[in-house]
Copies of this chain bind each other. A is one copy, B any other.
């Protein structure tokens, strides 16, 4: 399956450098993409005493065994004698839904543990390593003699669990933005027509990306025009996702029962965001429905638009940890203009739509001087059929 990073699993016995092993652990971690939220994505690789590949594993689903457990589970003590365990995140010190990984490894005859990131929780950071040190196992944060490669890998290590880190550090929803535009940056004609800008290869990858976030967020215009399913349709992924709809003035709410959304999703998975001023009116509409979405009443700002920060804060309270904003043009533009986007997934098709009769995804973004432009950090590029995709953080 095409995923964010995807390396083949080497044959047993293949000699790997610690850098190669860490990159493989990152690739493994991504396999948990659709299922681990709100836990972090974690991957692990085990090398024998001579640095040869033995096994790998990843955190597969929320509440399930951690990556190290999956990597180590089929290896004998003989195989693990003086082995080297590589893991993207510091082995946990505490018992949670599963036993402590550090304590589990401490019982094994391994020689060395290299982890990518220290536990982000300052209260327990370093405690996993300390448990290992106590029994004579070397446990160190990943470094490399090749400082450029080290920096690249550290960036990837942060990226693979970026939503978790953001949630933990900021107590906020991680916001990703997915856009499909023409080469001239247009996402829809003025008529609203936008299907299909990109090709089938891009669209399959978009369903994979959808699976990596808790919810898909759209403005009401997108629903009015396309009546989309907003679910995950990928040959190798089965996952129910949540949906967030922004309908500030509650205009679309009355039509909710007729939408494809209402047929496909469980009602506890659909969040309908309306201005707080319209609470009673909206509740009256909902009361008449045989099935109704979860209502989220959001503060409005001076312009009368929903306050997106309040909206995100409420979604966080409701248990959502990440959303993928998928449009339309104005919704995307509002998130960008208010600097609320953590990661962008931008697909571009090799077509020209002409800005004279179509809509950009940054209409409300105004930059007065080039030095104030919005930089996309750590950009990466990938092609899908005739399209290309750029992703990076904002």
Contacts and interface: CB of A to CB of B under 8 A. Distances in A.
Interface string A361-373: 1111111111001
Contacts of A394: 352
A177 to B, nearest CB: 10
A366 B390 contact: no
Contact of A185 (B186, B337, B381): B186
B352 A355 contact: no
Nearest to A368: B357
Nearest to A195: B370
Contact of A379 (B362, B379, B386, B390): B386
A364 B193 CA distance: 19
A354 B373 CA distance: 8
A351 interface: yes
A392 interface: yes
A376 interface: yes
Contacts of A358: 367
A170 interface: no
Interface in A283-332: none
Interface in A153-203: 181-186, 189, 191, 193-197
A337 B337 CA distance: 30
A350 interface: yes
A354 to B, nearest CB: 3
A252 interface: no
A189 B357 CA distance: 20
A362 B351 contact: no
Given A352-B367, A353-B362, A388-B390, 5 more contacts: A183-B390, A189-B370, A191-B369, A353-B367, A357-B365
Interface of A: 181-186, 189, 191, 193-197, 333, 336-337, 344, 346, 348, 350-358, 360-370, 373-376, 379, 381, 383, 386, 388, 390, 392, 394
Q: Which 3 A-B pairs have the closest CB atoms?
A: A185-B185, A354-B365, A357-B366
